[in-house]
Amino acid sequence: MTKIERDVVIIGAGASGLTAASDLVAAGLTVAVLEARDRVGGRLWTDDVDGAMLEIGGQWVSPDQTALKDTLAQLGLATYPRYREGKSIYVNKAGAVTRFEGEIFPVPAATELAIVTLIEKLDVLVAEMDPDRPWEHPRAAELDAVSFSAWLEAETDDQEARDNIGMFIAGAMLTKPAHAFSTLQALHMAASAGSFSNLVDADFILDERVVGGLQQVPLLLAERLGADVHLGQPVRSIRSNDEGVVAVTDDLEVHARFVIVAVPPVLISRISFDPPLPRRQHQLHQHLSMGFVIKVHAVYETPFWRADGLSGTAFSPYELVHEAYDNTNFEDPRGTLVGFVSDENADGVFALTAQERKTRILESLSHYYGEQAMNPVVYYESDWGTEEWTRGAYAASFDLGGLARYGADLRTPVGPISFACSDMAGKGFQHVDGAIRVGQETAAVIVAQTAPLT
């Protein structure tokens, strides 16, 4: 067992932990980052699969994500816009395929009115919410007791309007069925991106990508930290007393004044704390769960849909792949489509063989783009559900009633123990931007506490 002494030990080398570590070092403190995996980045992972560069985890950057944008600029990383020339595609419940422009799907006039009305109502509720304090919304407890699907049912009889608005939060964001999370949690998801209108605007929310991949953010941050990042070191226990903390892996023991636990909140319970975390933390961690989505990558010899006048953007709450986009890499002659299979649909296809699953998913893509979609040269499914150190995608959110009841305590430090993760963010919740914000804020609190002592 090697013993290391530092000012702060950080558990987890994702965007949040590495941002915190970098800020602490910039403030003159010493750090050790302990990462369970043999790579940094956590849910950011850019890899080569059969000769194609794929963003297995997070990838998109939107205009409101100013913390991420600042980090990209500091690291000298360039961005490029998602391809969006041409028409989008919508498939209705009957399977009819329609090409359209703009944000509102081609639906009957009454359904369009219902969709616009729902968006306006949701925008008003979201505007009343501070994304950093959703539990302070004037109707927080009431809205947290109603599932998003029940709220939608109470608002409109129009099934297609409900299915579409539900999809934006359920399948597309929290990646849980709309009956499994509250209206307050849905509003928080939208508030974290500025408004509900922003969430339904694909050109806003899926605006840009990073040339060479978003994992470069953690890779470059880790490079600067050098030997202070320790890979393959799952932290098994954290001991704390008045003197400070000791984080213990199978090989290392890091003694420090502070610890930042920068792991998804669903994994905090995997670490043994001595003394145990307080009752409140024990309880609240049980009310969070990971969503689940399969990110499907299909690479073709050319972006054939572009020649057909299509942007590659496709939606349908009735398709196995509920949304798909042109995800072609920067200056790549090949064309890449990315599609998403969420929550119960993901459960369903994982009950099939790999070949059956691939066929079902490609068939769904072919409903949007035609038969050519059936024959990619590279095909890959990002399955974060099997990743021991993540256990789902995209992120964790509260169950019904959990946000109003426990949200305020999610990031409350316990003595020298602080918590940081995108899944605990206000602005940028469940996104890299939120991971960076929370990392920065957590580091700043520790720096402020150490300032008089240094």
The verdict on 173 binding ligand FDA (CB under 6 A) reads no
Instruction: Name the residue nearer to ligand FDA (CB basis): 156 or 175.
Output: 175
- Stretch of 38-46, 95-103, 180-188, 343-351 contacting ligand FDA, by CB under 6 A: 38-46
Phi-psi region of 28 (alpha: psi -120 to 50; beta: other; left: phi over 0): left
Indicate the residue among 237 and 375 with the shorter CB distance to ligand FDA: 237
Q: Which CB atom, from 57 or from 134, has the smaller least distance to ligand FDA?
A: 57
- Residue 35 marked in a binding site: yes
- Only segment of 139-147, 267-275, 300-308, 404-412 that touches ligand FDA (CB under 6 A): 267-275
Q: Which of 89, 170, 229, 263 binds ligand FDA (CB under 6 A)?
A: 263
Q: Which is nearer to ligand FDA, 14 or 416 (CB)?
A: 14
Report the C-alpha gap between 148 and 143 in whole angstroms: 9
Q: Interface with ligand FDA includes 244 (CB under 6 A)? A: no
Burial track 242-251 (b if 16+ CB lie within 10 A, e otherwise): eebbbbbbee
Across-strand partners of 19?
none
Q: What tokens were used for 14?
A: 């994702």
How many CA atoms lie within 13 Å of 310's alpha carbon, on the beta-carbon side? Answer: 22
Nearer to ligand FDA, 12 or 194 (CB): 12
Q: Is 270 in the site for ligand FDA (CB under 6 A)?
A: yes
Helix (H/G/I), strand (E/B), else coil: 205: helix
- Output the six-digit token pair for 167: 């999809």
Of 57 and 376, the one with the shorter C-beta distance to ligand FDA is 57
Among 229, 238, 259, 421, binds ligand FDA (CB under 6 A): 421
Tell me whether residue 44 or residue 199 sits nearer to ligand FDA (CB atom). 44
- Contacting ligand FDA within 384-413 (CB under 6 A): 384, 389-390, 393-395
Q: Which two tokens stand for residue 170?
A: 């359920």
Stretch 280-319 residues interacting with ligand FDA (CB under 6 A): 295
Contacts of 41 by beta carbon, 8 Å cutoff, 6+ apart: 13, 14, 15, 57, 215, 217, 218, 219
**Residue 212: CB minimum distance to ligand FDA, A:** 15
Burial letters 304-331, b for 16+ CB under 10 A, else e: ebbeeebbbbbbbbbbbbbbbbbbbbee
Please report whether residue 137 would count as binding ligand FDA according to CB under 6 A: no
Between the alpha carbon of residue 64 and those of residues 199, 208, 221, 231, the distances in Å are: 11, 12, 22, 32
By CB under 6 A, tell whether 60 contacts ligand FDA. yes
Rule CB under 6 A: say whether 36 interacts with ligand FDA.
Answer: yes
Measured between alpha carbons, how far is 184 from 182 in angstroms, rounded to an integer? 5
SS3 category, 76: coil
Pick one of 185, 240, 289, 382: the residue that binds ligand FDA (CB under 6 A).
382
Give the three-state DSSP class for 399.
coil
CA-atom Rg of the chain in angstroms: 22
CB nearer to ligand FDA: pick between 42 and 213: 42
The correct pick among 6, 8, 10, 17 for binding ligand FDA (CB under 6 A) is: 17
Q: Does 267 bind ligand FDA (CB under 6 A)?
A: yes
Question: Is 398 marked as binding a ligand?
Answer: no
List CB contacts of 125: < 8 A, sequence separation 6 or more: 137, 143, 187
Counting contacts by CB under 6 A, is residue 57 touching ligand FDA?
A: yes
Collapsed DSSP state (helix, strand, coil) of residue 13? coil
381 is in an annotated binding site: no
Is position 12 an interface residue for ligand FDA (rule: CB under 6 A)?
Answer: yes
Cβ at position 450, least distance to ligand FDA in Å: 22
* Residue 36 among known ligand-binding residues: yes
Helices (H) and strands (E) in the chain — how many of each? 16, 23
Min dist CB 136 to ligand FDA, Å, is 23
Identified binder of ligand FDA from the candidate list 432, 443, 446, 447, rule CB under 6 A: 432
C-alpha dihedral over 440, 446, 448, 454, to 10 degrees? -130
Specify whether the backbone of 428 is left (phi greater than 0), alpha (psi in -120 to 50) or beta: left
Name which position in 262, 310, 320, 337 contacts ligand FDA (CB under 6 A). Answer: 262
Binding site for ligand FDA (CB under 6 A): 11-17, 34-37, 42-44, 57-60, 234-235, 262-264, 267, 270-271, 295, 382, 384, 389-390, 393-395, 421-422, 430-433, 435
- Binding site members for FAD: 16, 35-36, 235
Which residues line the annotated binding site for substrate?
Answer: 340
